[in-house]
Amino acid sequence: MTIKERILHTVMFEVFALVILMGAATIFTRHNPAVVGGLSVVMSLIAMAWNYVYNVIFDKFVGDDRLSRTVKTRILHGLGFEGGLIFVTIPVLMWVLQLDFWTVFVLDIGIVLFFLIYAIIYNWAYDHVKAKFFSINTPVNSKYTKANNAL
C-alpha cells in the first residue's frame, strides 16, 4: 500500500468502527450519545497512537522483517498490543463513564473482541473491494491475488 492508501485504510477503518460503536453504545447504554461519541473519538485516537508506539517498540525487539514472522510471533504481537491498549483505556473509561473497574474491564474486553472480529471483516471487505474496483495495475496471477481470492 502507498502512504495515501494506508491513511485512507486507517481513517475508513476508524470511521466505520466509530459509527458502529456509537450506534451500539447509544442503544445499549444509558449514556448521552454526545458523551459516547466523544469517548469513542478519544478511544480511537488512543488506539492509533498506541498502535504507532507499540509497533515501533515491537519492531526494535523482533526486527522489521515482517514477512518472516511466525504465527506465534504474530499472536504475541496481537496479545501485547491489546493488553497494552486495555491497560491504557481502562482508566479513561472508568473516569468518563463513572463505572467501577470490573464493569469497565468487561466492557473493554467486549470492545477488544468487537475489534478482533471487525478488523477481520473490514480488511477482507477492503481487499475485495479494492481488487474488484480499484486494482487496475495489480497482476492477476500474483500469489497475493490468489490468496485473497481464496477468502
Closest CA to 123 of 4, 2, 13, 17: 13
Closest CA to 42 of 22, 57, 23, 27: 22
Domain range summary for the chain, segments of one domain joined by +:
32-125
CB under 8 Å to 97, separation ≥6 — which residues?
31, 39, 104, 107
Task: Reply yes or no on whether the pLDDT at 150 is more than 70.
Answer: no
Query: Residue 97 has what pLDDT?
Result: 84
- Average pLDDT over every residue of 123-138: 75
Which DSSP string corresponds to 16-49? HHHHHHHHHHHHHS-S-HHHHHHHHHHHHHHHHH
pLDDT in tens, 57-111: 888 888 877 667 787 887 888 888 888 888 889 999 899 888 899 999 998 888 8
Query: Residue 101 has what pLDDT?
Result: 95
Residue type, 60: K
